């Protein structure tokens, strides 16, 4: 999130779309991300919140179909970017990736768990792209 805030401050992006599972008041990922950005001085009107991006594919599809976003800079952990970029492009987004490695040294156990999880997520990503789960039919 701090990388995204920096991109906004430097004029590299014009707004930030935070997407995640906002399914309940006790589990609101995009709400937490929004609060983090606001606490760091990002104006609220520049932070768009998507509470239904329950996974990367859903976030990408919703960016295009719900929020009419087509050019994106994806900011995520570096290990996550290849899959996220592939999904974004499959959803019709013109996407570039900006990786963040800070967790590798700040929280190595969390980083390693994420790397391991990414292998399983790649299988699901293939399914999502092949079935276009939740996306509008191609024209």
pTM for this model (two decimals): 0.90
CA pair distance 3, 1, nearest whole angstrom? 5
Q: C-alpha 123: how far from its chain's center? A: 18
CA distance linking residue 82 with residue 54, whole number of Å: 19
What is the SS3 string spanning 39-65? HCCCCHHHEEEECECCCHHHHHHHHHH
pLDDT digits (tens, 9 = 90+) for 2-45: 999 999 999 999 999 999 998 887 889 999 999 999 999 999 99
Chain center to CA of 130: 20
Predicted confidence at residue 139, as pLDDT, reads 61
Q: The tokens of 39 are what? A: 């606490």
């Amino acid at each position: 999130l701090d990388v995204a805030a920096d991109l906004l401050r430097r004029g590299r992006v014009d707004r930030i779309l935070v997407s995640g599972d906002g399914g309940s008041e006790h589990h609101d990922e995009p709400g937490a991300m929004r609060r983090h950005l606001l606490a760091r001085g990002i104006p609220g009107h520049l932070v768009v919140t998507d509470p239904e991006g329950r996974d990367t594919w859903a976030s990408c599809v919703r960016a295009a179909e719900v929020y009419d976003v087509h050019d994106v800079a994806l900011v995520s952990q570096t290990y996550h970017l290849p899959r996220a970029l592939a999904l974004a492009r499959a959803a019709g987004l013109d996407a570039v990736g900006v990786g963040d490695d800070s967790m590798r040294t700040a929280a190595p156990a969390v980083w390693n768990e994420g790397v391991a999880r990414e292998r399983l997520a790649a299988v699901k990503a293939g399914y999502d792209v092949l079935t276009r789960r939740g996306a509008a039919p191609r024209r």
